[in-house]
Copies of this chain bind each other. A is one copy, B any other.
Amino acid sequence: MELQTETELKIVASAEKLFYQKGKAGTSMQNIADDAGINRTLLNYYFRTKDQLFEAVFRKALSGFVPLLASMFKSDEAFELLVPKVIHSIIDAMMANPQIPIFVLQELSSNPERMPQVLMDMGIDPEKVIKKGEGQAHFRHLIINLFSLCIFPFAARPVVTGLLFNGDNDAFVAAMHQRKEILPEMFLKLMSQNQ
């Protein structure tokens, strides 16, 4: 890995901000350059093409979650102990970067052919994931539930805030903090249904 120059960092920061907000096609190289306060040609100097710049941003966005997923599927801990930790980690990650889920999901939805590569990068073997859950009834649904409950509120943030919190963003944030404490209990209840 090469050392990153200051301009390079500014570029990535602005590119993240704008790509997250308006998407790849909705953001021009000029937009990014303006936001970073630099000449547009510098983007090409450092990243060659828009595609490559986007790729860098996309990979960085993924890199924040890969360890979370990976730890989940590689750990030897029992589900009951693992779940509360995972919930905390995921929600904390979401609070830090609330725009990432929509960004990543939209990109993967547009280009689902990316998935195999993404799984590779994550170092996750789907076969093993499935094997790990063979003991637990409705294993797949439980995994889906776990991530749904943690991630969706952020993906649907404007709707949730508008509908349930009267547009009050602070209230939303507070609720998400509270959620970290409530969810594990709820989730374990939900797991036990078929035993």
Contacts and interface: CB of A to CB of B under 8 A. Distances in A.
B25 A22 contact: yes
Contacts of A129: 163-164
Interface stretch (A1-9, A45-53, A82-90, A100-108): A100-108
Residue among A118, A130, A163, A165 with the most chain B CB within 10 A?
A163
A155 B159 CA distance: 15
Interface string A11-38: 0000000000111111000000000000
By size class, the interface of chain A is: 35 or more
Given A152-B147, A186-B193, A157 B109 contact: yes
Classify the secondary structure of A's interface with B. helix
B108 A106 contact: no
Contacts of A114: 158
Interface in A94-140: 99, 102, 105-106, 108-110, 112, 114-116, 118-119, 124, 126-127, 129-130, 138, 140
Given A22-B110, A102-B105, 7 more contacts: A102-B102, A106-B106, A114-B158, A115-B159, A126-B166, A138-B182, A151-B156
